[in-house]
Structure 1
Amino acid sequence: MHKERAGFQTLVAKVKSYSPQADLSVLERAFKFAYDAHSGQLRESGEDYISHPIEVALILTDIQMDIETLTATLLHDVVEDTGISIEEIAQNFGPLVAHLVDGVTKLSRLDFKNKQEQQAESLRKMFLAMAEDLRVILIKLADRLHNMRTLKFRPQVKQKVTAKETLDIYAPLAHRLGISRIQWELEDLAFRYLEPEAYKDIATKVAAKRIDREAIIAHALGTLRNQLDEVGIKADIQGRPKHFYSIYRKMMAGRGFDEIFDLTAIRLIVDSVKDCYGVLGLVHNVWRPIPGRFKDYIAMPKPNLYQSLHTTVVGERGEPLEIQIRTLEMHRIAENGIAAHWGYKEGARPDKAFVSKLTWLRSILEWQQELRGAEEFVDGLRIDLFADEVFVFTPKGDVIDLPVGSIPLDFAYRVHTDIGHRCVGAKVNGRMVPLTHELKTGDIVEVVTTKQMGGPSRDWIKMVRTPQARSKIKQWFKKEQKSENIDKGRDLLERELKRLGHLADDIMDEAFLTEVAEQLTYLSDEDMLAAIGHGGASVIHIVNRLVALYQKIKGINDAEPIAIPTQSAHPTSAEEVQVIGLDNALVKFSRCCNPLPGDEIIGFVTRGRGVSVHTANCPNLPSLMQQRERLIAVTWGSKTAADYPVRIEVVGMDRPGLLQDVLQYLTESKTNITSMQARTTKEQEAYVSFTIIVKDLIHLDRVLTRLRKLRDVFTVKRVLSASGGKGDDGNAGSGTEGK
């Protein structure tokens, strides 16, 4: 216990350095409690497990967290890894500490590595936990940082998975919360494991220029100190550390190593905002500023509340020199982020006004409630959480942050939902622009509105960049037309049931509708009917569910259907697919969507060619619906074939070896490829389409999941029809993609 006790004493000393009045007795109790609970447990490094919570707590003292958070940190693994309950934590340390431990425990159980639906649900839960108490995610970030520091003791396969998850999820979160010291270390550690050769190359190049760089900085520091002494401004001047992943990202964007400005960087910390601008003038007087490289984050703070002046100048030897200027308080916020707003007092919490400034978190919590699809949620999150930003002004001077590529409509909906709905035009910097105009940092945007409540256009859904705006537009149409859509959906459902020969009044009993709505995760049966009415749900899919439920409740055998809608077609085997109400029908799979066992399916009676089988979300279904009398219910039979063709598309970074990596996995997984097409874009993206042979939907999901984990792969999708192609029924394909 001697080593662990020494680590705990280091923790106590660090807390005393920034919070002399803190009650340390609760930390002592938490240490003993955790030590006893983890007794006999070892880390993969061979160390006693208690060393981990101590190291995690030490990380949080670097950002000067309060006693309650540190207490919860020492206890954060006892519920997950021992027989201790949350109730015992509450009895010994109070409800708040128990709440934090419970939050971290639940986050530890989230799975970001499985298929998209599970990943989306895990992300939803993480953001809800953050909204409840942001300290939960701070503990989790520190926990991840220590696990990354000790990643070398884990198996190599797990190293890659953990590093990718860190770079995809945890480092961007640290950035959004403004905790740069944790963000940078997470990025560099993950980069080291994901791209070891690139990491080594950059480390070598940085080391090779160290002597020259130190000489340049030393000379610049001397010049600055002399100038500051002359004008009487006190400043702490320091060189800035280099972060390898930041350099790597800039090189991947096409910049050469010698073109990266922040390789030689200086930071000045002064007493006041006035001194910040005074030092800026002095710097520009001594060295020539590089045009377009000045950024005023004091007047326009970042969404994570970061403030500083940034400028890049030409040094005396002609080398670029990046300079940051900030006050001590700005520096504390830049390093510690949101943690800086808790202060040092026990029990202190940031006020609601501060939390409300975290617009990105509020935005995510707003629009995520409106989205049903996992893919839509994850794609939206990439925009709201991970995308680069532009900062624009309202006419009154308020700063609005938006993702790069945003248009005036995104701005209008960010200001207020009603302004977005009534938007008819926009002025940017006093000039009328189209609603598709791309906004740039520094633009002054004025929204032109109509007094009448006209409402948005459906075209806007495809035009806007932010998920927040898209969600509000969709919600308007759903709300405005819900009553009409409910009636329309009910009518479509009744007609479809009657066409198939079912007793619509019996099957559309409210209890059956409610149960099917719950199965499909709708809030109510009216929401499900409205979804049918506005085209957001397949009536065939819901009819199949209702009929199956009705037959189950009434004890009707599936092999003895209650309806006989048409005469028999050409005789054939029904081992693969059964046509409800038709015996010995000739059955063909439609090439436009290539149904797989496990897909929801619908049949279409063709002229002289039997029944063609489509997926329930086939892109040709809208045109088939125009001949509803020819649609017929079908189900998968008891025996399916071994091989089914399916088209998939892989989108990734256009780099040497990407196609080889994809083909290698498909070969190793014994997945047969029957055709392949590839193309690239100016944006350095590669699009590769394959037709592969799989056994069923589960087999396909397994292939897609593995492909998504390959390096530099952005998306992997099943393609339901080729653009402009035709299905077996002569209907033009729409190019729609499946999940």
Structure 2
Amino acid sequence: MSAEATNPATPGPVVPTAAVRRKARPRIDLRRLGRAALLGNAARGKLPDAIGHVAEAHRAHYPDADLEPLRHAWVLAESSHRGQMRKSGEPYITHPLAVTLILAELGAETTTLTASLLHDTVEDTDVTLDQVREQFGEEVRYLVDGVTKLEKVDYGAAAEPETFRKMLVATGSDVRVMSIKLADRLHNMRTLGVMRPEKQARIAKVTRDVLIPLAERLGVQALKTELEDLVFAILHPEEYEHTRELIAANAARSGDPLAEIADEVRGVLREADIPAEVLIRPRHFVSVHRVSRKRGELRGADFGRLLVLVNEDADCYAVLGELHTCMTPVVSEFKDFIAVPKFNLYQSLHTAVARGDGQVAEVLIRTHQMHKVAEAGVVALGNPYTPAAGTPAGDTPAADADASADSPVDGERADPTRPGWLSRLLDWQKAAPDTDTFWSTLREDLAQDREITVYRPDGGSLGLPEGATCVDAAYAQYGEDAHACIGARVNGRLATLSTVLRDGDTVQLLMGQDPASEPSREWLEHAHTPAARIAIQRWLAAHPDRTEEPPAPVPSRPALDLTAPGSASGGAPRTASAMVVDRPGATVRLAGCCTPVPPDEVTGFAVRGGAVTVHRVECASVAHMKGTGRPEVAVSWGDSTACRVTLVAESFGRPHLLADLTEAMAQEGAEIVSATVEPPSQQRVRHTYTVELPDAARLPALMRAMRNVPGVYDVGRAQHQ
């Protein structure tokens, strides 16, 4: 059975969900509800007493909801699970009932609650998915199937990770699958005390590594915070007990500085005529533990935060202005998650105010709707798959009836049913057929709990984990086609693929034209995301004969000189009998500083020995000689089109680059007179080639062919000073 735990409490006090704390509702007596379930079903059409609490919580969010699907689901679930008992001795039906109550209090809509009541029937009873579809429809069948475990008899030790893979894939099409799973895990964690310590620890670790990060990403803070405390109690009992003592000692102190600051805030807002509700939000155990490690000895105001709830977005900023004007703000604590929401839908203003004795109170400012989303995340969206214009009355939350059409349209919030992090996760899991790789990579991926957004020149954006590099951006944008990436521009400037990106950067990825381009093994050192690492590792595994090749050439002297024996160096002037010069009998030479070729506009200058040196008119040497009063000599191109030119290629280092580049030049009919390759700098390599071309008109084609070599990002004419 999926819910193996029983009712005895875990070590230390159990912290209720935020939804329960807000309503000050006592913990439901599941034993009493279990006994009510065993007394039999209610008459047809009448809501059974056992789910009265669920109905009450549901109607608080959806006043006009049709409760018939819940009654029907209860009848099937109770009859199917009848006779099954939890290890605590309670009727098994108390588990799906408790899971459904958790979701109802968070504001889940009717379809989710219906599936929640039935979520263990297919796994633990004779009910089939076909029966669920026939009686409740395809949506409910999909949700139930999404949370149904795979059998150990079929999958062995891989059952748990493969079940999570199945759930994540299902969540990719309907986030309500994971909502039910999170509530299911919360109730099991609440009642884990009867299990053997080693099993408690195993379940707690999976909860810590997988379920809590998923709750954070889906924005379900009410579930996340309670799960954190329950895991803390099991895995760190001594630190948990110490934290409990800190909280108890603070509660026993006389006077509450946080309450006093709250009163002061209320006064400030009353004077400003801003309607607002000011609440004190006690920190949960893990939060207190983190703050104590960060700040050392805690003061009274450290054990909670102030929450200011207002009606409109503009009121949030009005509250902020009043607090910063009338009280002493701690400017370093200010964060605006309204203008720039977190990737998990969270919106709020964060600030802090200090009073004369040094007590500092953190303040959260948000609207009532923002607060609902902050607590329940995707659960607060109702049915995210129902278009706003056609949403039935029973599926529209009371607080959201008029706001549903105003949902944001920017970034990941435009499609909360398929957030960017989930799309990336689903993409890389396809490339990780090995269960162990999937399971370890999933935990590693979920441990990256902060995201950045980088922008593309075309106006699109990429969501990446903090610490991601240009390598990660390439694979996020192009998938395995990123093997052909040769470099990047970050904020308009050339950057190496190892460059770590920051939130808000603009990234242009430079792609080679060769479909057989190869990733470098070095890229693995810079790949931060599973998608990038898995794609690179797959390529390397499929091409073992390529993995031991040397990196791009690293010269052992200042520059690798490939000048042909007996040839002129790249900078030496060359006799040019094609030229027509206004000085009969003069020897004409092409300047090595700018290597003019037809049809460049040129000019000449007399030099010692009666020769004339020809320069391109934009050459820096021309301006210098004219500035010193040197007279110009008129020159023009003759009929011959052969030329010599010096080209500079800028590239990223990679194996075989030099061979590929010289081959491309040879195919264009260029004869290399000399070449130098400078030592790599930040993975970039500069090549200088002086070449002979039989026809100057072929120069543009030669430069295009050089640019098309993978790894080369720019080719230009030499411009020596």
With the length of structure 2 as denominator, give the TM-score of the two structures. Answer: 0.60
- Asked whether 1:295 is paired with 2:335, we answer yes
Structure 2 gaps, min length 5: 1-33, 38-47, 384-390, 398-403, 408-412, 549-721
Shift of residue 165 of structure 1? 2.2
The correspondence for 1:36, drawn from 68, 75, 79, is 79
Instruction: Go from structure 1 to structure 2 and tell me whether the alpha carbon gap of 1:166 and 1:214 turns closer, same or farther (over 3 Å shift).
Output: farther
- Asked whether 1:175 is paired with 2:220, we answer no
Instruction: Go from structure 1 to structure 2 and tell me whether the alpha carbon gap of 1:240 and 1:423 turns closer, same or farther (over 3 Å shift).
Output: farther
Instruction: Go from structure 1 to structure 2 and tell me whether the alpha carbon gap of 1:94 and 1:462 turns closer, same or farther (over 3 Å shift).
Output: same
Task: Give yes or no for contact 1:250–1:260 (8 Å, CA) kept in 2.
Answer: no
1:27: which partner in 2? Answer: 70
Shift of residue 355 of structure 1? 3.8
Question: Helix, strand or coil for the counterpart of 1:239?
Answer: strand
RMSD of aligned Cα (Å): 3.6
1:686-725 matches, within 5 Å, as none
* Separation in structure 2 between the aligned mates of residue 423 and residue 237 of structure 1, nearest angstrom: 55
User: 1:123-153: per-residue Cα shift (whole Å, max 9, x none)?
Assistant: 3223112113222221121111111122223
2:111: which partner in 1? Answer: 68
AA in 2 matched with 1:388: D
* Separation in structure 1 between the aligned mates of residue 436 and residue 299 of structure 2, nearest angstrom: 38
* Separation in structure 2 between the aligned mates of residue 286 and residue 423 of structure 1, nearest angstrom: 55
* Separation in structure 1 between the aligned mates of residue 185 and residue 533 of structure 2, nearest angstrom: 33
Identity across aligned pairs (percent)?
Answer: 37
- Asked whether 1:52 is paired with 2:52, we answer no
Instruction: Go from structure 1 to structure 2 and tell me whether the alpha carbon gap of 1:39 and 1:356 turns closer, same or farther (over 3 Å shift).
Output: closer
- Asked whether 1:447 is paired with 2:487, we answer no
Instruction: Go from structure 1 to structure 2 and tell me whether the alpha carbon gap of 1:425 and 1:62 turns closer, same or farther (over 3 Å shift).
Output: same
The correspondence for 2:467, drawn from 383, 405, 425, is 405
- Asked whether 1:359 is paired with 2:420, we answer yes
Task: Give yes or no for contact 1:383–1:403 (8 Å, CA) kept in 2.
Answer: no
* Separation in structure 2 between the aligned mates of residue 259 and residue 437 of structure 1, nearest angstrom: 42
Shift of residue 62 of structure 1? 1.4
2:429: which partner in 1? Answer: 368
Instruction: Go from structure 1 to structure 2 and tell me whether the alpha carbon gap of 1:212 and 1:136 turns closer, same or farther (over 3 Å shift).
Output: same
The correspondence for 1:320, drawn from 340, 348, 360, is 360
The correspondence for 1:184, drawn from 203, 210, 225, is 225
1:714: which partner in 2? Answer: none
Q: Which has the greater radius of gyration?
A: 2
* Separation in structure 1 between the aligned mates of residue 153 and residue 451 of structure 2, nearest angstrom: 32
2:146: which partner in 1? Answer: 103
Instruction: Go from structure 1 to structure 2 and tell me whether the alpha carbon gap of 1:288 and 1:401 turns closer, same or farther (over 3 Å shift).
Output: farther
* Separation in structure 2 between the aligned mates of residue 87 and residue 18 of structure 1, nearest angstrom: 31
Shift of residue 439 of structure 1? 4.1
AA in 2 matched with 1:102: D
User: 1:385-414: per-residue Cα shift (whole Å, max 9, x none)?
Assistant: 221314355388987543332234434554
Instruction: Go from structure 1 to structure 2 and tell me whether the alpha carbon gap of 1:421 and 1:143 turns closer, same or farther (over 3 Å shift).
Output: same
* Separation in structure 2 between the aligned mates of residue 214 and residue 469 of structure 1, nearest angstrom: 55
- 72-81 or 258-267: which moved more? 258-267
Shift of residue 191 of structure 1? 1.3
AA in 1 matched with 2:280: G
User: 1:702-729: per-residue Cα shift (whole Å, max 9, x none)?
Assistant: xxxxxxxxxxxxxxxxxxxxxxxxxxxx
1:337: which partner in 2? Answer: 377
1:186-265 matches, within 5 Å, as 186-210=227-251, 215-249=256-290, 256-258=296-298, 263-265=303-305
* Separation in structure 1 between the aligned mates of residue 115 and residue 92 of structure 2, nearest angstrom: 16
* Separation in structure 1 between the aligned mates of residue 150 and residue 274 of structure 2, nearest angstrom: 47
AA in 1 matched with 2:121: V
Task: Give yes or no for contact 2:58–2:105 (8 Å, CA) kept in 1.
Answer: no
* Separation in structure 2 between the aligned mates of residue 411 and residue 259 of structure 1, nearest angstrom: 44
Instruction: Go from structure 1 to structure 2 and tell me whether the alpha carbon gap of 1:214 and 1:362 turns closer, same or farther (over 3 Å shift).
Output: farther
Shift of residue 337 of structure 1? 0.6
1:62-141 matches, within 5 Å, as 62-106=105-149, 120-141=161-182
Instruction: Go from structure 1 to structure 2 and tell me whether the alpha carbon gap of 1:95 and 1:228 turns closer, same or farther (over 3 Å shift).
Output: same
* Separation in structure 2 between the aligned mates of residue 201 and residue 60 of structure 1, nearest angstrom: 32
Structure 1 gaps, min length 5: 479-527, 537-739
AA in 2 matched with 1:445: D
Instruction: Go from structure 1 to structure 2 and tell me whether the alpha carbon gap of 1:329 and 1:532 turns closer, same or farther (over 3 Å shift).
Output: same
* Separation in structure 1 between the aligned mates of residue 288 and residue 154 of structure 2, nearest angstrom: 30
Instruction: Go from structure 1 to structure 2 and tell me whether the alpha carbon gap of 1:68 and 1:449 turns closer, same or farther (over 3 Å shift).
Output: closer
* Separation in structure 2 between the aligned mates of residue 110 and residue 297 of structure 1, nearest angstrom: 47
2:530: which partner in 1? Answer: 467
Shift of residue 359 of structure 1? 0.7
Shift of residue 315 of structure 1? 3.1
* Separation in structure 2 between the aligned mates of residue 415 and residue 33 of structure 1, nearest angstrom: 47
Question: Helix, strand or coil for the counterpart of 1:445?
Answer: coil
User: How many residues are treated as equivalent by the alignment?
Assistant: 479
Shift of residue 318 of structure 1? 0.5
Shift of residue 181 of structure 1? 0.3
* Separation in structure 2 between the aligned mates of residue 9 and residue 52 of structure 1, nearest angstrom: 15
* Separation in structure 1 between the aligned mates of residue 264 and residue 348 of structure 2, nearest angstrom: 21
Task: Give yes or no for contact 2:487–2:496 (8 Å, CA) kept in 1.
Answer: no
With the length of structure 1 as denominator, give the TM-score of the two structures. Answer: 0.58
* Separation in structure 2 between the aligned mates of residue 425 and residue 288 of structure 1, nearest angstrom: 45
Greater RCO structure (CA 8 Å; 6+ sep): 2
Question: Helix, strand or coil for the counterpart of 2:89?
Answer: coil
User: 1:552-576: per-residue Cα shift (whole Å, max 9, x none)?
Assistant: xxxxxxxxxxxxxxxxxxxxxxxxx
Task: Give yes or no for contact 1:45–1:150 (8 Å, CA) kept in 2.
Answer: no
* Separation in structure 1 between the aligned mates of residue 461 and residue 315 of structure 2, nearest angstrom: 23
Instruction: Go from structure 1 to structure 2 and tell me whether the alpha carbon gap of 1:2 and 1:151 turns closer, same or farther (over 3 Å shift).
Output: closer
Question: Helix, strand or coil for the counterpart of 1:209?
Answer: helix
1:149: which partner in 2? Answer: 190
Instruction: Go from structure 1 to structure 2 and tell me whether the alpha carbon gap of 1:143 and 1:119 turns closer, same or farther (over 3 Å shift).
Output: closer
Question: Helix, strand or coil for the counterpart of 2:286?
Answer: helix
Task: Give yes or no for contact 1:303–1:357 (8 Å, CA) kept in 2.
Answer: no
2:713: which partner in 1? Answer: none
Shift of residue 434 of structure 1? 5.3
AA in 2 matched with 1:394: Y
